[in-house]
Amino acid sequence: MGTTYVDVNVGSPIFIIQNGVSLASNDTPLMFKNYNAEQDCIECMDPVKKVMIQVQRNLKGELPIVVGFARTIHKFQGDTMDDDAIAMNFNGSRDLNLVYTALSRVKSMNQIVALEL
């Protein structure tokens, strides 16, 4: 598999997918701010801690990040969603524990989008 390039705009949500490349741990949600050419790293804002985080390249020379526009229910466990919404196909939901976990992450019923009932 070849190299993959992804355009990331300022303010895009990203996730670190490897430990040891920044002060943040694997799967930490961050907001992309800019690429620092002098230090060959990206600079991101931790929206929870309100601090800037530098993400360095790993040993393969890659920036181990993924764009984070969507997450699984498992990734949201323990979080509260402030502005985001849950899009869910209730027809295909067989695990009531996952449905409960998803629906208990929101602050408002307006954040739930039912794809099918």
pLDDT (tens place) for every residue of the chain, 117 residues total:
566 677 788 988 888 888 888 888 877 888 999 999 999 999 999 988 899 999 999 888 888 888 877 667 766 677 777 767 777 777 777 788 878 887 888 888 888 877 765
pLDDT at 35: 94
pLDDT at 117: 55
| Among 25, 63, 28, residue whose Cα is nearest residue 47 | 28
pLDDT at 44: 94
- 90: tokens are 């209730």
pLDDT at 20: 84
Q: Using CA atoms, how far apart are residues 33 and 107, in angstroms rounded to an integer? A: 27
Q: How far is CA 106 from the centre of its chain?
A: 16
pLDDT at 55: 92
For 46, the enclosing helix (H) or strand (E) is: strand 41-46
Q: What is the pTM of this model?
A: 0.61
59 burial level (CB within 10 Å; 0-12, 13-18, 19+): exposed
